[in-house]
A and B are shown apart, each in its own frame.
Chain A
Amino acid sequence: MPFSINRRQIILSSSAIAASLALPRIALASDEGGTATGVRYARRDQINNGEPIRLEYWEWSGQRAEYQRAWAEAYSEMYPNVEIEIVLQPWDSYWPSLITNVPAGAGPAMWHMHASKMVEFCDGNLMDPIPASVADADYLNHHWIGFPEGAMSCPGTGSLHTVPMGAMMPLLFINLDKWQAAGLTEDDIPTTWDQLREVAALLTERDGRNRITVAGLSMDGQEWLQNAVYQQGRYLFNADGTQVQVQNPEYRAALQFIADLVHTDGTLDNEIASQRYDGFAAGQSAMYIGFSWIAGFLRANRPDMNWVAVLLPTPDGDLAPAYGNIRFAIEAVVNPYTDDTTKEVAWDFWHFNYSRDDVIVEDLALFNGFLPPYDQVLGDPRVEGDVLASTMSPAGGFGIINDLPNVVRDEQLELVTAVILGQGDLDTLMADSERAQNALLAERDNWNIIERNYANHAMMIADQ
């Protein structure tokens, strides 16, 4: 569907991307080394002396298992004595399982890691340090977008255990069938919060009982909150990252927006809000605000759905002072407690994968709806031709890298639910939530809050 998005006349290109484009392209031998990561892989005669070895590789998402199996096959083709089994484990039991199994020496050889769990895994020493053959810190420092400010290494020690598979940003997903049915065109794509409310009202459908059957707009409330607060120049934490700041006008405005949708406009209600992205996939909402990985979910599970993703509206249409939250998805992790042979094979597997640009670009990034965070491949035709990647890239420099502690995430979600259910006035709810979040934060010393590493920190509200 030809749906060009040219809504921002001035493309405020990201400082990181701009800087990277200015760098001379380093020509790498592409047949044996990856352009993206600078990692070269030379095929060995044999590994593990040709003796059979079996490795487990854990993943929580069924759709990713497909390409992971393809990697495993490609590797086994080179070294037929190696068998890599992809084991699926749902998110809820995935993390407790790793945390108890790995130190006991029983966990998988490798697993798919998630940035929100880094602090906990660093604390417990649950990840093997990444060898220089797989990731050269100096090279990454120059070519991995967000490396210095993203602080992917463990807090305190600074050791590196994993490299990212992609950067994701929040986007506005639009169901085009519903959009067109409401008589809207591409000129109507909202860029400000007010416009967003207006089109949401137009898209809302009700049944004979006046119940919402299609909500104009729904969102992951926690993500909305985080992005909306950033968009107004406000950080979520105080300067030393020990406490949250909730009781301020920006936070209030972000909550008020949701309250307006539900209680004033009637374009969203609790039933649909609680369905989240499944609801958008089921056609229960016409627009959805969520991270770009939802694109991967929609492609895999709703191949016939007619949708498009555009940049989030901001309070007044500008990307400055900030656009929203950037999160890094990370991949390679090896179990430090397995025997040395297993470790060697596991790292060799990653070494092989990270030398392959098609793995970095197609599988890890674009398939999942991520932007490959390696500047050397941004000019790759596959990236340039990817609708989602080109949609996200203008906002890249206005993304604030931070993965929230789970305790804060959960409390924010509770706060949004309370607003949607109308459980009291905003100021009381905010005061309660601030107290609750700070009490939970006090249970740990270092949460590795890195939001103030933001490249455009100077644009944010001063002295907060």
Chain B
Amino acid sequence: MDRVFRQSAWASLVLWAGALVMLFPAVWMVLSAFKSPQELLDYPPTFLPQAWSFEYIQYIWTERNFGRMMLNSVFVSTTVTLLTVLSSAYIAHVFREFRFPLRRPLFYLIIATTMIPLPVLVLPHFQIVYWFGWLNTYQALILPYALWGFGVFLIYQFLAGFPRDLIEAARIEGASERQIFQYIVLPLIKSPCVALGIITFLHQWESLLWPLIAANSPDMQLLPAGLAALSNNAIESADLFNPYSAALIAAFPLLVAFLIFQRMIVKGIAMTGIK
């Protein structure tokens, strides 16, 4: 059967060539991150660094606060991911399992919020955070994204396909609702939860617009916002530094995670794409 479902030789070649093109920016980034800022000005450009040096990465990490930003990014992305997954699972479970007043309208409301583009909410979110005096705080970065209508929807759909007899059995055994959720439902929906966690983490890690506005002080900045500010070398800045070194720091953790957990990540993304 595999003989039929297969590629012609030239098409394979095109695919492999395309793969190299896709990889090039990453390769170029790694090579260039070890060059000196002066070497980057050379023309014609050098391919390999004249001398491999960690100095420029170290400079960005310490002098340009990227160490602190890394900490912030990891903390915010992780917290948002945990909160989103747990609250989405909890809410989806309750909405599926129980009947209570306003259940339907509330559920449709949650689904409807997924239609609101996040950039449209940036102004009011800024206003709220400004009123509360929360600019440059972790709560400003985390709270607006602690729950996601799409997450509730995704897990609800998975739950809808599962038989309820396990839950009923546990209830007869005298398990509390929290225990049922924790020990029976959560393990059942592990894979959609992992999928939701992966895409939530990806979104958060890359997120630029809101962190740019909500947290711009040196000790609260997240990596993308800090990187964007550093690379937009304003005419007044008068600093020579290596933008590749900064990009490498910001991109490195997820690229490594991808190489290790590729299968899981790809599966997770594919799962959230199937509606």
Q: How far is the CA of A380 from the CA of B43 in the complex (A)?
A: 42
Residues from chain A with a CB closer than 8 A to the CB of B212 are 93
Residues of B near any A CB (own CB < 8 A): 37-38, 41-43, 63-65, 133, 135-136, 212-213, 216-218, 221, 225-226, 228-230, 232-241
Q: How far is the CA of A284 from the CA of B37 in the complex (A)?
A: 15
- Complex contact A114–B236 (CB within 8 A): yes
Instruction: Return the CB mask of A193-229 against B: 1 if under 8 Å, else 0.
Output: 0000000000000000000010000001000000000
- Complex contact A93–B229 (CB within 8 A): yes
- Complex contact A63–B43 (CB within 8 A): no
Residues from chain B with a CB closer than 8 A to the CB of A62 are 63, 239, 241
- Complex contact B232–A278 (CB within 8 A): no
Residues from chain B with a CB closer than 8 A to the CB of A284 are 43
- Complex contact B239–A61 (CB within 8 A): yes
Instruction: Return the CB mask of A273-310 against B: 1 if under 8 Å, else 0.
Output: 00011100111100000000110110011100000000
Q: Shortest distance in angstroms between A295's beta carbon and chain B's nearest beta carbon?
A: 10
- Complex contact A276–B235 (CB within 8 A): yes
A-B contact sample (5 more), CB < 8 A, given A92-B229, A106-B136: A96-B216, A97-B217, A104-B133, A276-B235, A281-B41
Query: Nearest residue in A to B37 (C-beta to C-beta)?
Result: A301
Pick the residue among B64, B217, B237, B239 that contacts A101 (CB under 8 A).
Answer: B217
Q: How far is the CA of A97 from the CA of B212 in the complex (A)?
A: 10
Assuming the A-B contacts A93-B225, A281-B41, A282-B41, are A104 and B232 also in contact, with contact meaning beta carbons closer than 8 angstroms in the complex? Answer: no
Q: Shortest distance in angstroms between A166's beta carbon and chain B's nearest beta carbon?
A: 14
- Complex contact A91–B43 (CB within 8 A): no
A446 within 8 A of B: no
Residues from chain B with a CB closer than 8 A to the CB of A220 are 235
A90 within 8 A of B: yes
A60 within 8 A of B: yes
Q: Shortest distance in angstroms between B195's beta carbon and chain A's nearest beta carbon?
A: 34
Counting from the closest, the 10 A-B pairs by CB-CB distance are A282-B41, A93-B229, A97-B216, A91-B234, A92-B229, A301-B240, A297-B238, A90-B229, A62-B239, A93-B216
Residues from chain A with a CB closer than 8 A to the CB of B41 are 278, 281-283
Q: How far is the CA of A100 from the CA of B137 in the complex (A)?
A: 12
Residues from chain B with a CB closer than 8 A to the CB of A90 are 64, 226, 229-230, 232-234, 237
Q: How far is the CA of A96 from the CA of B228 in the complex (A)?
A: 14
Assuming the A-B contacts A92-B228, A97-B216, are A61 and B238 also in contact, with contact meaning beta carbons closer than 8 angstroms in the complex? Answer: yes
Pick the residue among B42, B133, B226 that contacts A93 (CB under 8 A).
Answer: B226
Q: How far is the CA of A61 from the CA of B240 in the complex (A)?
A: 10
Q: How far is the CA of A93 from the CA of B225 in the complex (A)?
A: 8
Residues from chain B with a CB closer than 8 A to the CB of A61 are 236-239
Q: List 6 A-B contacts (CB under 8 A).
A: A87-B65, A91-B234, A100-B135, A282-B43, A301-B38, A301-B239
Q: Shortest distance in angstroms between A83's beta carbon and chain B's nearest beta carbon?
A: 16
